Structure formats: structure tokens, C-alpha cells
């Protein structure tokens, strides 16, 4: 283990043990270097590495502080990494979406708040009248973000947001491919919102699976050069009346 790595592990241990908490200022550089048994140069390298992954915040002229350590902040590097994935990484992204999105939709149905439901209604109303492709894509992204936030799990929401960013180009192509497909996307959102309002986790999960299936077919057609033919919206069950 290099000296810098040892310094990183020591600082990480101080944070994990609670000796350093979110918002705390690290001891002066020389004092901390002496305590960790490393040179000031090695300590600086360790601090630089931890600041790049949003664990530490170096404030010039003020000192170095532990960040809020919130999942959204710590996972911001994941968003950047996913954005850099090339087309060969798309298959893995699709697999992760399949693993996470349906359970997340089910969780959102159990935890969504009245305020979030109101936001979703507003977004749907704006999508219905929007005509600019960029605005339409942005509103659809906003709808997905509110659903992710409705899970009440900040870590899961941050990961889903990173996946949404990676899927941005596909989403824009999907929504601009055909007016019929835009109607399909809107229908999916309406069905999902209905599931959230009913608190129906099974229905929310089913709707999410249908969305993923249709997106999968769309991507396969793009790759094969086959004509885009939206399929009928079919769900494995019909919701009972309440």
C-alpha cells in the first residue's frame, strides 16, 4: 500500500468512526500529517483524491472540510462516468435499468407524497401541450426524476438520475421518432401516475416493465435499421376498479 493510499484510508477511517463528521474541518495540514505519519506532500495527494470524489471540500484560504456526504453528492462521479460510456456500454445500462426501475416504481407507489403527485400532474399537463422537442424531452426527464424522488431513497434516486442522463440521447430519439410514439410515452406516464395515486405497487411495476420492453424494441430496431413500428400498449393485467 502506498503512503498516499494509507493516508486516504486513515482519513476514511476517521470519517467512518465519526471522529470527523459532515461539515467538520480537518486539522491543520502539518498536524494531520504528523498524526498520520506521512509527509505533507502525501497528505495533499490524499486530500486531492478525496476531494475529487466529493468526500472532502478544499476551500482555498479557509481549510479542508468534510462534505455533506449525501448520496447525491457522493454519486455525482457515477453520473459523469455513465455519461462517458460509449455505445458498447449501453447493454449494461439497459440491464441495470431493468433491475432498478420496476422495483423503484413499486416503491414510489408506496411512498409518493401529495406534493409529488401534484408535480406529476403538472408535468403531464405541460407534456400534453408542448411542441418543442427539447422541452418535451426535458419534461419527460422531469417526470422520471419526480418518480425517482418519490421512492424516498436518496441513494436509489441518485443512481436512477445517472441512468436517465446516460439514456438522454436515446430518449430524445425515441420522442422525436414519431408522434404516435410520443403518445405512447404519454400513455405510459398516465398509467404510472394512476398506479401511484392508487398506491398500487404491482401496477406501477408492470407499467415500468412495459416501458422498458418498448424502449428495448425501439433500440433493437435502430440498430438493425428496421422501420420503427410502435407496438400496442399492453399490460399483463387490468387494474380493478376502486
pLDDT at res. 26: 94
Region of poorest pLDDT, from 42-56, 122-136, 214-228: 214-228
Q: Which of 203, 161, 144 is nearest to 75 (CA)?
A: 161
Q: Residue range 213-222: average pLDDT?
A: 72
Q: Are 124 and 186 in contact (CB under 8 A)?
A: yes
Which ranges of the chain does DSSP label H, i.e. alpha helix?
Answer: 3-16, 29-36, 40-52, 71-74, 76-83, 90-111, 114-129, 133-149, 154-166, 168-177, 179-198, 201-224
Q: Please report the domains of the chain, with CATH numbers, ordered by start residue.
A: 3-69 (1.10.10.10), 74-224 (1.20.120.530)
| Torsion of the alpha carbons at 81, 84, 85 and 86, rounded to the nearest 10 | -170
pLDDT score, position 54: 80
The whole-angstrom distance between residue 54's C-alpha and the CA centroid of its chain comes to 17
Lowest mean pLDDT of 1-5, 97-101, 233-237, name the range: 233-237
76 vs 33: which has the higher pLDDT = 33
Cell numbers given for 91: 447493454
- Residue 241 clears pLDDT 80, i.e. is over it: no
- Neighbouring-strand partners of residue 63: 59
Coil, helix or strand for 65? strand
**If pLDDT is split at 50, 70 and 90, which confidence band does 237 have?**
very low
pLDDT surpassing 70 at residue 167: no
pLDDT at 101 exceeding the cut of 90: yes
pLDDT digit string (tens) for 177-217?
A: 456 667 778 888 999 999 999 999 999 999 999 888 877 77
pLDDT over 70 at 81, yes or no? no
Amino acid at each position: 500500500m502506498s503512503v498516499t493510499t494509507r493516508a486516504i484510508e486513515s482519513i476514511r477511517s476517521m470519517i467512518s468512526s465519526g471522529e470527523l463528521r459532515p461539515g467538520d474541518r480537518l486539522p491543520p495540514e502539518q498536524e494531520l500529517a504528523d498524526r498520520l505519519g506521512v509527509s505533507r506532500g502525501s497528505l495533499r495527494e490524499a486530500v486531492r483524491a478525496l476531494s475529487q470524489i466529493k468526500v472532502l471540500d478544499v476551500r482555498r484560504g479557509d481549510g479542508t472540510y468534510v462534505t455533506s456526504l449525501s448520496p447525491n453528492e457522493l454519486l455525482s462521479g457515477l453520473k459523469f462516468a455513465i455519461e462517458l460510456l460509449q455505445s458498447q456500454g449501453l447493454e449494461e445500462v439497459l440491464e441495470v435499468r431493468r433491475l432498478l426501475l420496476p422495483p423503484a416504481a413499486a416503491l414510489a407507489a408506496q411512498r409518493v407524497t401529495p406534493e409529488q403527485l401534484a408535480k406529476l400532474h403538472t408535468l403531464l399537463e405541460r407534456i400534453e401541450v408542448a411542441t418543442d422537442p427539447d422541452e418535451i424531452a426535458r419534461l419527460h426527464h422531469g417526470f422520471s426524476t419526480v418518480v425517482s424522488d418519490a421512492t424516498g431513497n436518496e441513494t436509489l434516486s441518485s443512481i436512477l438520475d445517472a441512468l436517465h442522463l446516460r439514456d438522454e440521447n436515446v430518449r430524445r430519439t425515441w420522442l422525436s421518432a414519431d408522434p404516435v410514439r410520443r403518445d405512447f410515452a404519454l400513455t405510459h406516464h398516465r398509467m404510472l401516475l394512476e398506479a401511484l395515486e392508487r398506491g398500487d405497487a404491482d401496477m406501477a411495476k408492470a407499467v415500468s416493465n412495459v416501458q422498458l420492453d418498448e424502449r428495448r424494441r425501439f433500440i433493437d430496431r435502430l440498430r438493425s435499421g428496421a422501420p420503427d413500428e410502435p407496438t400496442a400498449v399492453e399490460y399483463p393485467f387490468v387494474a380493478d376498479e376502486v
